[in-house]
Amino acid sequence: MDKIKPILFDIYPELEGKVPWIPLLTNLPSKVERLKELEKHLKLEGGEIYIKRDDKVHNTYGGNKLRKFEFILGEALKKKKKGIITLGGIGTNHGLACAIITKELGLKCELNLYLQPLTWHVQRSLLLYDFFGAKLHFTKSFELGVLKSLLFRLFHPKYYLMSIGGSPILGFGTPLGSVGFINAMFELKKQIDEGSLPIPDIIFVPAGSSGTSAGLTAGCKLLELKTKVYPVKVSIDIVVNPKTLMKIANKTLKFLRKRDKTIPDVKVRENDFQLIKGYLGSTYGVKTVRGQNAVDLIYDLEGKSRDFRLETTYTGKTMAAMLDFLEKEENKTKKVLFWNTYNSNDLDKYLRETKFDFEKLPKKFHRYYNNKLFQCWQVTDCPEDIRNKCRAYLNHEYRFWKVTECKLDDNKKNDALEYLKETMNLEDA
């Protein structure tokens, strides 16, 4: 595999060797594409919409986590650790990325998982963590997950403790993950200079543990871009708030400046970004009406022809915020970039290999499968010859009945749809 060295190391050569890093990403720079169908749909008047395809940065698992891991796991390997312990909700993408990459690197992976709203995404994620060799532990809450992870680390010094989402929590933890997104901002600047896109007025990006948006904001500041980052809050207050975001951004800048004095002495202030609230719903991971509508709309207009999909926890809510913004008359001329943070590589082939055998998982997770049906093919027991050719099969986020011709007979189909619509539980947010 070609080593794709961080652009930051070219611009600030002192950093190389002083900032831990390992090559993981296989497809850099991630592409920038224009979403013309969406522009038409929104009737923009001179405005333009671009997407940064971080969903394909790695051949197995794309998305935002791997940009962080190049630096965080770089440190873990430098410290000669033999495994990673980390935590997240039971459907954590961070945990899945960690399971996949630790396997690639020959490291062990332990995941402390706490409850989040149950969905098919959660069901499939649990099977995939196990498939990629992670060891799963159930914990009753986020706080207990933190405690258990700290204790595990205490008794297993050969493990590296990676904080939730790969970002510092309450000021604790390494800022290395956000270095990956400062670097990503420099990558984008190069694409701007090469003419792939104009300087965006705004970048929309989900804020879950805030490391991604903090890195992008710090990157804009260093580059003196007029671009403003709009992190969309998709997680609880304790991890997403302006102070935390600023702290992470400034901790990351300080970390870099300590290693290369030529880096400008800039600080991120509260008015350097605009935290967008109102899209989360009652808590992390719930499906909301606006988030789900955004997932369906984008799948239909752009995603199915370009091979990417949004999901309802992060990118759907962020897209919903961007759509609302662009619906406003005064914003019809804006140039915006949607930073796509969710993997779009096909994981279904691995999922099929699990044979959906949830009994292989630790017992505490079995209750998330027994009589818990979220998908049409689960409800109807859809025959293999039909489901194998159907786009709805294994899909996990769009309302498949809106975009799929069901081949089952009408009674069976209608009963299933009735059941699914009732159990979807979309929150009014």
Ligand X SMILES: Cc1ncc(COP(=O)(O)O)c(C=O)c1O
Q: How far is the CB of 51 from ligand X (least distance, A)?
A: 13
Q: Which stretch binds ligand X (CB under 6 A): 26-34, 188-196, 205-213, 281-289?
A: 205-213
Among 119, 123, 163, 209, contact with ligand X (rule: CB under 6 A)? 209
Q: Which residues pair with 85 in a beta bridge?
A: 110, 161
Beta pairing class for 228-233 and 32-34: unpaired
| CA dihedral of residues 418, 311, 343, 164 (deg, nearest 10) | -120
Q: Which is nearer to ligand X, 169 or 301 (CB)?
A: 169
Question: Which of these segments, 120-128, 138-146, 210-218, 253-261, binds ligand X (CB under 6 A)?
Answer: 210-218
Of residues 281 and 420, the one with the C-beta less far from ligand X: 281
Task: Verify binding: residue 285, ligand X, rule CB under 6 A.
Answer: no
* Nearest residue (CB) to ligand X, 21 versus 284: 284
Contact of 163 with 86, CB cutoff 8 Å: yes
Q: Is 94 in the site for ligand X (CB under 6 A)?
A: yes
CB of 210 to ligand X, least distance (A): 5
Instruction: Report yes or no: 98 and 126 within 8 Å, Cβ to Cβ.
Output: no
Q: Which of 112, 125, 210, 252 binds ligand X (CB under 6 A)?
A: 210
Pairing state between β 83-89 and 48-52: unpaired
| Residue 227 in the binding site for ligand X (CB under 6 A) | no
For ligand X, the closer of residues 307 and 381 by Cβ is 307
H helix intervals, 267-409: 289-298, 304-306, 315-327, 348-353, 376-380, 384-387, 400-403
**In this chain, which of 93, 112, 217, 345 binds ligand X, going by CB under 6 A?**
93
Q: Which is nearer to ligand X, 44 or 323 (CB)?
A: 323
Nearer to ligand X, 137 or 233 (CB): 233
Neighbours of 83 (CB within 10 A): 16
What's the rounded Cα separation, in Å, for the pair 171 and 149?
Answer: 17
CA of residue 19 relative to chain centroid, distance: 24
Closest separation in Å from C-beta 306 to ligand X: 17
375 binds ligand X (CB under 6 A): no
CB 95 → ligand X: shortest distance, Å? 9
Segment lying near ligand X (by CB under 6 A), choices 21-29, 30-38, 208-216, 271-279? 208-216
**Minimum gap (Å) between residue 342 Cβ and ligand X:** 4
- What amino acid occupies position 117? P
Using CB under 6 A, which residues numbered 142 to 181 contact ligand X? 165, 167
Q: How far is the CB of 6 from ligand X (least distance, A)?
A: 18
For residue 194, the minimal CB distance to ligand X (Å) is 26
Q: How far is the CB of 283 from ligand X (least distance, A)?
A: 15
CB distance 206 to 240 below 8 Å: no
* Residue 365 DSSP class: G
CB of 207 to ligand X, least distance (A): 5
What's the burial of 255, exposed, middle or buried (CB within 10 Å: 0-12/13-18/19+)? middle
The minimum distance between CB 370 and ligand X, in angstroms, equals 27
Alpha helices by DSSP H, 54-160: 65-78, 93-105, 120-131, 142-155
Q: Give the whole-angstrom CA distance, residue 256 versus residue 259.
A: 5
Q: Is 126 helix (H, G, I), strand (E, B) or coil?
A: helix
Is there binding between residue 208 and ligand X (CB under 6 A)? yes
Q: Is 206 in the site for ligand X (CB under 6 A)?
A: yes
Residues of span 57-76 touching ligand X by CB under 6 A: 63-64
Report how far residue 354's alpha carbon sits from residue 272's, in angstroms, rounded to the nearest whole number: 46
Site for ligand X in 295-354 (CB under 6 A): 314-315, 341-342
Q: For the residues of 146-189, what is the DSSP string, one character each?
A: HHHHHHHHHH-TTEEEPPGGGS-BTTBS-SHHHHHHHHHHHHHH
Of positions 112, 125, 139, 212, contacts ligand X by CB under 6 A: 212
Stretch that binds ligand X, among 131-139, 150-158, 200-208, 398-406 (CB under 6 A): 200-208
Considering the complex, state which of residue 8 and residue 184 has its C-beta at the smaller distance from ligand X: 184
Sole binder of ligand X in the list 62, 173, 211, 219 (CB under 6 A): 211
Q: In what order do the strands lie in the sheet with 32-34?
A: 32-34, 48-52, 335-339, 202-207, 228-233
Q: What residues make contact with ligand X under the rule CB under 6 A?
A: 63-64, 93-94, 165, 167, 206-213, 314-315, 341-342
